[in-house]
Chains A and B, each alone.
Chain A
Amino acid sequence: MVVREDFPVDKQFIASPVKSAVDKFQLLPEFLKLQVRGLVKQHLDSFNYFVNIGIKKIVEANNRITASSDPNFYLKYTDVKIGTPSITADNVTDTLTPHICRLSDMTYAAPIMVNIEYVKKFCDQITIEKKENVVIGRMPIMLRSCCCVLYGKDEAELARLGECPLDPGGYFVVKGTEKVILIQEQLSKNRIIIDTDKKGCLNASVTSSTEATKSKTIILMDKGKIYLRLNAFVKDIPIMVVMKAMGMESDQEVVQMVGRDPKYGALLLPSIQECAGHGIYTQQQALEFLEKKVKKFSFSNPALEKEGRAMDTLRNVFIANVPVRQNNFRPKCIYVAVMMRRMMEAFLNKDAMDDKDYVGNKRLELSGQLISLLFEDLFKTMNSEARKSVDLQLAKVNRSVPVDIARYIVKDSITYGLERAISTGNWDLKRFRMHRKGMTQVLARLSFIATLGHMTKISPQFEKSRKVSGPRALQPSQWGMLCPCDTPEGEACGLVKNLALMTHVTTDDEEGPLISLCHSLGVEDLELLSAEEIHTPNSYLVIFNGLILGKHRQPKQFANALRKLRRSGKIGEFVSVYVNERQRCVYIASDGGRVCRPLVIADKGVSRIKEHHMKELMDGVRSFNDFLREGLIEYLDVNEENNALIALYEGEAEPETTHIEIEPFTILGVCAGLIPYPHHNQSPRNTYQCAMGKQAMGNVAYNQLCRMDTLLYLLVYPQRPLLTTRTIELVGYDKLGAGQNATVAVMSYSGYDIEDAIVMNKSSLDRGFGRCIVMKKLSAINQRYPNDTSDRIIRPQKVRSNAEKILDADGIAAPGEIIRPHDIYINKETPVNTRDKFTSPTGLPDSAYKSTRQTYKGPQGETAVVDRVALCSDKDNNLCIKFLIRHTRRPEVGDKFSSRHGQKGVCGTIIQQEDFPFSERGICPDLIMNPHGFPSRMTIGKMIELLGGKAGVSCGRFHYGSAFGEPSGHADKVEAISETLVRHGFSYNGKDFIYSGITGCPLQAYIFMGPIYYQKLKHMVLDKMHARARGPRVMLTRQPTEGRSRDGGLRLGEMERDCLIAYGASMLIFERLMLSSDPFEVQVCRVCGLLGYYNHKLKTGICSTCKSGDHISKMKLPYACKLLFQELQSMNVVPRLKLTEA
């Protein structure tokens, strides 16, 4: 991509478009770099928007606290800002870094500082005072956002702060755990959606959401008549009544508004008739009718009573997003008319129905918006609390103390509220009627890719139980926005999605200037139009963020003008302009949460990006933003894409083409981007790999050894894949790999490779293949008790027992010591009495302590090492001791491995190198894979990976396998790979002549052999294997415990029982279900049939009901059975045993 000319260039060359799409690739790294930490740009942008603009708006909207008794007594917020992350302890303020927070279980938060102006009242003397930088709470800070200390730091500075430069940021550190606020998918707010309900009724719905209210308005068509359904009304209301109540008394005008075409009139007629049938002709009558249907609330507002609740509902609840100014209901009427018209269109033509699953009808809610909601709620609560306390103070007679309103606003409620919501993930905002759970998740730190994948994950709006296929299906409109591969299997399949590589999620843009711009571009104001004029032919309605602005007679020119303005940077680059010809509407959107992506603009099919642009980019004199600013590239959202004709490659552009894709592989997300040649694989395989890539062990981050995670899996010798993709390089997987390049022979060997098992070479394992480190965190707290006593950690005895061996002189295990199961790692003692006060709580005698030493419980026979010991204080200021236990494991039979093509398998057997086959060049494979894995899976990509890897090692160049990359040169073609192979003396098809290691003779087939990148997955036998003969039992039922962690028994379940019954092995069933489980000897009274007891003094059984021991028989029954009898008895049901033989 080097332009070989000096500056006096020949003009024709410059004018010629970029020859091939390869050239544009350089935009991608630039794009991802521009977004500083490209892949989580959406999170950062959203949070930055909140911190810089959103929070100011919220505070401004609620900037006054006024005492209800005295309107002159007020507090006013004049400004709000967020400081740098810091913590104030004992009046000393320390700046925080994220890594400190992670290690010492703190919250990475910055103070929210406000400037206030308030009234101080002292002995009826009123003074107005000002205060600056009053801290009202602490806001958890998203890493790498503009408030973060990591913002704009380079690699060396990040390293100094203990941070990994490849870490994407975009998450929070709350109480030491990293929390991600998942991207929430929602249906667009304030947009008309035409749909059918469960009964098949056509309806038009609008979910209104304004700062003040949130409501859902549904206009539905039932049996030909049109009704309004609103939560505030008890019943469906005929739409004409609503229109009349809003002052639209003339039926003719309504018909005109909907459209004069007789087909609309005919559909409206039944509704008009119904209205007339009710005898409603005037606004007054309509309002009276509505008054009866309004839901009654227990409390009543006198102001409302006067005007009527119906009017209020129509004004504030009914399509709340359309504002009513000066009692002018006309915009609302037109809105309803448009809704009806759209509905009727859909009635006449089913194609006009909206698709709820269409990505253009969706909005993604990001952390900034969610935190902003949370903050607004907490801020309002704090203000009202403050008002209440001030009212109380003012009501007090005693005025000797000055009443200072500023004292009441400084509270922890915001700090704790934010912290609690983020750490639990529960957004319980009564004010906004929002009760959502699981909004945050602990950031997956299993591998680097898992972390990245977690940041792009979109959690669904629907609950997972819905058995519908629609929302789960792949939508064509997802192209380029959401990854088509990366979705989980099972219940959440298709609902949980992931962003594609280039996707950007918009944030809100200022509406006012855009509206006035529209007007000056020739939009005729709605107010000035008669009902008839609204739908005149050749004119299009202009709808801005769901609000009807007016109409325009030349929609195309209008749209083009707006686009031109956008391309020249006069209006925001994320404003979308979309002409919908069918609905005869121009939609302009500037709201947040839309997904969009950059595309190269083309004029008459000729790309605007020329060679010299790319050269400038390469030379570093031009950035991605310059491309945007100069109108070479623009962002299109899903709706606007419908107005564009996008060519995949420049060569395919036709004169009508308006845009050209930057790179086709960007339709995939991060996880799918790791797969080489994914376009050669069967599609589910890519989906499987997306799930498995997140379980692969490798490097987590550059600071992985400084972290204190509860569980950390690392590979000892991770490698960079021989067959890379462009995505791998862009996201940094080549620096933090999670796998190793194994030489794989595809052949059958030993029979231990059936059912996807793999045979491994012992020498490879000896040399470090697949070796991994598992680090587990153990912690102990030196607890302090209410009576001022506290735990103590004491030095071990002089003569140490074996279990105490690893303890240091301070009673805590020393780092570097080898720890075995049952070893004591902390020699702690706890006071026996933690309630009663002592005179000298610190000087208790030794006898007042009992030992609560903690022992290591690990797999038997394995040795681990104490990697690190960290001491810190927890939130209650107790000493907290954390141990990191490290266990290095080499692969063993049963460990799970996978290639990057959804081909997982366990290690079936490990075989000595001398028994392994070898090639003519002495190459011995690291593992052998059974060829039966291929035909049914159809993972051709894996075969090409093998070929490409083999060519790569022989010629010394990393080969590429980016998705759809062959035409643009981002993937090596098989022909070229074959040529390379031949040049280095291999067969073009990658098959080698192999000798058997056992007989020494050549094998009777050529073997497909070469390197494939293999991942070791976190599932290891050592963590799973479990067996028991005898062991612990549950207290209540005396049956064996359940689960491996409790050393539980292996359950003989219902189906196994059925087998034994069918077989007739009654004695075996008896043994398994009773003798091996919970046998119990009971005394049964033959008279009353109830259970008695055994009297050890008299050595007889006694029936407590009959009070005698005469007719007692001994028998065995399961303890659970005895328990059942007793439980029944406790409920006055008497189970009696009738013994046939006693």
Chain B
Amino acid sequence: MPRVSALDLPDVPKGHLPPHLELQRTRVLCASDAPTHTETIQYSGAYASVGVDNSLRLDQFCRDFRVEVIRLTEDDMEFDMVGIDPSLANAFRRILIAEVPTMAIEKVLIANNTSVVQDEVLAHRLGLIPIKVDPRLFEYMSENDTPNEKNTIVFKLHVKCKIKGPRLTVKSDELKWLSNGSELPLEMESHTSDPASKQKTYTAFTCSQVSLPEFSNNPIAPKHQDIIIAKLGPGQEIELEAHAVKGMGKTHAKWSPVSTAWYRMLPEVVLLQEVEDEMAEELVKKCPVNVFDIEDVGKGKKRATVARSRACTLCRECIRGEDWEKRVALRRVKDHFIFTIESTGALPPEVLFTEAVKILEDKCERVITELS
């Protein structure tokens, strides 16, 4: 006997919800005082009494779920994610912010700093510079690991302002990638080691990173060349080495691969009544983002229509004032997410999202393996 899912059995009710309940289930109602019905109804039997099944079904999900990319540039993307629960969309957002790894400067070895910027502040500023490198090519460095070409990227910064020159602004393009690892000798055994053997440095690279195929024609550098690191007065100098390692945004925001990632639910603007003539014009004028348009109905009559509901920022101007709440309803579609990812530049935004999906997958798998 073929296995049939219990859900497909005929006794499962397949009716439809009455319109007001359906509205509550699928829309957030944004009234002028407060949004209502913001939560999603999870319980499968929530509508059992009216004969409707509220359970989530995989086949249904697979059928309904779709992703539509609206805008994709080098650094940011906007896409619609339809047919998904807010908790899942939120999971992606959270993972993007906190758990997708990147490389960021973690250790700064300052050889000389005579600028006005204090060492700690300088190090902090360096840490926040996004580095354009695929973190997937690197390993995490744990506490007792030695830094090697697999887990560390080394940059050098050596700038000096001429004594009788103008003031100098040190920008991120001064950060030079040292593919062979650190150049600063380790102090410890500097006297004992014989001159023949290689001087030990702060890193233990076995080979140059340039020799690795991934970087051979793709040198590592900060994503932006014009981030101000410090300003130097005449005679001031900064000489340092910065070691970038792999990390996650939850440890420190510098490892977050996104400036921010967020979503908003699809706005839905509904005219509950016909809005005509002066009222229509008033309505069009009210909206700062031009959600409404005017339509000629003939005979000199005009009617307001909703033209660009997606642009609504929920300023609630259109429902401000007497009676307007009766004419216009602002809603959000609960399972349609306009997702925006602003990448810091380590990875393109679309890759970031797939990475996030992979991480969620991993987590699910881990749960499954832990449970079984």
Contact = CB atoms under 8 A, between A and B. Distances in A.
Interface of A: 705, 716, 762-763, 766-768, 771, 773, 816, 865, 867, 886, 888, 912-914, 918, 920-922, 924, 981-988, 992-993, 995, 997-1006
A915 to B, nearest CB: 8
Given A766-B253, A918-B262, A986 B315 contact: yes
Given A766-B253, A888-B118, A982-B288, 13 more contacts: A716-B124, A766-B254, A913-B249, A914-B250, A920-B264, A922-B260, A922-B262, A983-B288, A985-B289, A986-B315, A988-B320, A1004-B35, A1006-B35
B342 to A, nearest CB: 8
**Could you say which of A768, A993, A997 has the most chain B C-beta atoms within 10 Å of its C-beta?**
A993
A1003 B35 contact: yes
Interface in B173-230: none
Nearest to B260: A922
B86 A1001 contact: yes
Contacts of B254: 766
B281 interface: no
A1004 B93 CA distance: 20
Given A912-B250, A988-B320, A1005 B315 contact: no
B167 interface: no
B119 interface: yes
A596 B291 CA distance: 59
B359 interface: no
A816 B264 CA distance: 48
The 10 closest A-B CB pairs, nearest first, are: A1000-B90, A766-B253, A985-B313, A922-B262, A763-B253, A1000-B86, A914-B94, A1002-B38, A888-B120, A920-B264
A982 B87 contact: no
Contact of A1004 (B34, B94, B253, B261): B34
A993 B30 contact: yes
A913 B316 CA distance: 27
B315 A982 contact: yes
Interface in B74-127: 86-91, 93-94, 97-98, 110, 113, 116, 118-121, 124
A913 B97 contact: yes
Given A1004-B36, A1004-B38, A920 B93 contact: no
Interface string B28-67: 1010001110111000000000000000000000000000
22 contacts: A762-B253, A766-B254, A767-B128, A768-B124, A816-B113, A816-B119, A865-B118, A913-B97, A914-B250, A922-B262, A983-B288, A987-B314, A993-B35, A999-B86, A1000-B88, A1000-B89, A1001-B39, A1002-B28, A1002-B265, A1002-B332, A1003-B38, A1004-B38
B34 A1005 contact: yes
A176 to B, nearest CB: 23
B256 A1001 contact: no
B282 interface: no
Nearest to A989: B316
A1031 B162 CA distance: 55
Nearest to A913: B97
Contacts, number: 116
A755 B30 CA distance: 31
Contacts of B90: 995, 997-1000
Contacts of A918: 260, 262
A816 B87 CA distance: 49
A1001 B119 contact: no
B288 A920 contact: no
B151 interface: no
A1005 B320 contact: no
A766 B128 CA distance: 9
A622 to B, nearest CB: 37
Contacts of A716: 121, 124
A947 to B, nearest CB: 14
Nearest to A766: B253
A773 B252 CA distance: 20
A997 B88 CA distance: 12
B223 to A, nearest CB: 16
A920 B313 contact: yes
Interface string B235-278: 00000000000000110111010001111110000000000000
B296 interface: no
A999 B34 contact: no
**Could you say which of A766, A982, A1004 has the most chain B C-beta atoms within 10 Å of its C-beta?**
A766
Given A768-B124, A912-B250, A1002-B38, A997 B94 contact: yes
B98 A912 contact: yes
Given A766-B252, A816-B110, A1002-B28, A914 B93 contact: yes
B317 interface: yes
B316 A987 contact: yes
B152 interface: no
A763 B250 CA distance: 9
A1001 B40 contact: yes
A1088 B93 CA distance: 84
B316 to A, nearest CB: 5
A888 B121 contact: yes
A164 to B, nearest CB: 14
A16 B195 CA distance: 91
A768 to B, nearest CB: 7
A888 B91 CA distance: 35
B30 A914 contact: no
A630 to B, nearest CB: 45
A766 B313 CA distance: 30
B340 interface: yes
A766 B247 CA distance: 14
Nearest to A706: B116
A768 B118 CA distance: 14
A999 B90 CA distance: 7
Nearest to A994: B35
A230 B128 CA distance: 76
A984 B317 CA distance: 12
Contacts of A993: 30, 35, 314
Contacts of A1004: 34-36, 38
Nearest to B316: A987
Given A763-B253, A985-B288, A1006 B118 contact: no
A997 B260 CA distance: 13
